[in-house]
Amino acid sequence: MKKNERMLDEIEKILQHSFDPIELVVLDVSEAHRGHSGFQEGGQSHFEVEIVAACFSTMNRLTQHRAIHTALGSAVMEKIHALALKVRGT
């Protein structure tokens, strides 16, 4: 991740490149978790992802989530506290 790039942008870029989705929404919902475990001042700790891509059609839910976590890699996953996923195939 580039120094001034937001985590949301990084997640979006990786998922776009990895899955070529027909729908992709990435939201930073960190502020809704203020006072909870893992909250970081300035956000970038809690994210929601909605993604629709053809490749997910043949995967079960666990495999879909693993594919996304693998695509994001440890560099991203270690910097965020929570990642809520809504995944669908086409």
Residue bearing the bigger pLDDT, 18 or 37? 18
Give residue limits of the domains in the chain.
7-88
Confidence class for position 30, pLDDT limits 50, 70, 90: confident
State yes or no: pLDDT of 4 exceeds 50. no
Residue bearing the bigger pLDDT, 28 or 16? 16
pTM: predicted TM-score of the whole model, two decimal places: 0.85
3-state DSSP helix/strand/coil percent for the chain, to nearest 5? 45, 20, 35
- CATH fold label, 7-88: GMP Synthetase; Chain A, domain 3 (3.30.300)
d(CA 77, CA 63) in angstroms, rounded, equals 17
